[in-house]
Amino acid sequence: MEYKVRGTVMQVLDLKLNDGESVYTEKGGMSWMSPNITMQTNAKGGVLKGVGRLFSGESFFMTTYTSSGGPAELAFSSEFPGKILPMTLSEGKNIICQRDSFMVAEETVNLSVAFQKKLGAAIFGGEGFILQKLSGTGTAFLEVAGELTEYDLKPGQTLKVDPGHIAFFEESVKYNIGRIKGLKNMVFGGEGIFLADLEGPGKVWLQSMPLSKLAQKLSQYMIKAKTSMFNR
């Protein structure tokens, strides 16, 4: 498989598959393709894994694209302004990612739900803590909303992050949910009630524009626009 990421704000991923090579994505993720690409949609990995994907924010059904009868090309487009990042996985090098991060991967990459070690993280974490796990070997492509910032945390080094800004991190990084101190900070600070604690060792990738904040900002203008129309 060969790939190329092109564009700046709304990037496109171009893939070139050799005969017999396959990639898979969530339902509806492909943009355009060669006519000799065959599609197969099913609950990849079985019903239990399909339910797990639903819990983590992906589709129950996944679609596999296979080159048949020679080389073929297909493309995937960004769903939001940001970056497309290729991640090469090897045995024991697993990635934990936010539910909106996964785009497409080779067949040898496994996508599953990343179960929370603490119930509070799953219930109160909000955006950024419905997580997925990428394992196996091969290349996966992930989306980042806005600009990308990368940290390589040393053992014991901790970073406090608004959960929505977490894109993905290596499995060696410990994560937990901590409550913001001070009632005024929680109620009037505008940062929510909880922050994520990420502790090294391992790499962390953060995104500058959480989708929830973008949607919230756009909704304000949509409400104003509707109000203006009714007042005409």
Residue 162's CATH number = 3.60.160.10
Q: Indicate the burial class of 107 (C-beta count within 10 angstroms; 0-12, 13-18, 19 or more).
A: middle
- Tell me the H-state helices in 2-94: 47-55
Q: What is the pTM of this model?
A: 0.81
Kind and range of the H or E run holding 218: helix 211-230
137: region left, alpha or beta (phi > 0 left; psi from -120 to 50 alpha): beta
In whole angstroms, give the CA distance from residue 222 to residue 180. 31
Task: Give the pLDDT confidence score for residue 183 in this predicted structure.
Answer: 47
Q: Look-up: residue for tokens 């497409």?
A: 104
The whole-angstrom separation of Cα 55 and Cα 103 is 17
- Most distant CA atoms of the chain, gap in Å: 64
**Could you tell me the residue range of the domain that residue 133 belongs to?**
2-230
CB contact at 8 A, 24 and 76: no
Q: What is the Cα–Cα distance from 127 to 97, expressed in whole angstroms?
A: 12
Tokens read off for 97: 């990612």
Cα–Cα distance for residue pair 94/105, rounded to 1 Å: 14
3-state DSSP assignment of residue 119: helix
Other CB atoms closer than 10 Å to residue 113's CB: what's the count?
A: 19
**CA dist 109 to 37, 52, 101, 113, 139, Å?**
20, 16, 15, 13, 7
- Rounded CA separation 13/210 (Å): 21
In order along its 232 residues, the chain shows pLDDT tens digits of 999 999 998 999 999 999 999 999 986 679 999 999 999 988 766 555 555 555 555 566 789 999 999 999 999 999 889 999 999 999 888 999 987 789 999 999 998 888 655 545 444 444 445 788 999 999 999 999 999 999 999 999 999 998 889 999 999 999 887 766 654 444 444 455 678 899 999 999 999 988 776 666 677 666 655 665 555 6
Number of structural domains (the chain) is 1
Query: Do the beta carbons of residue 72 and residue 14 sit within 8 Å?
Result: no
Residues in the chain: 232
d(CA 127, CA 161) in angstroms, rounded, equals: 12
Helix (H) or strand (E) holding 187: helix 183-188
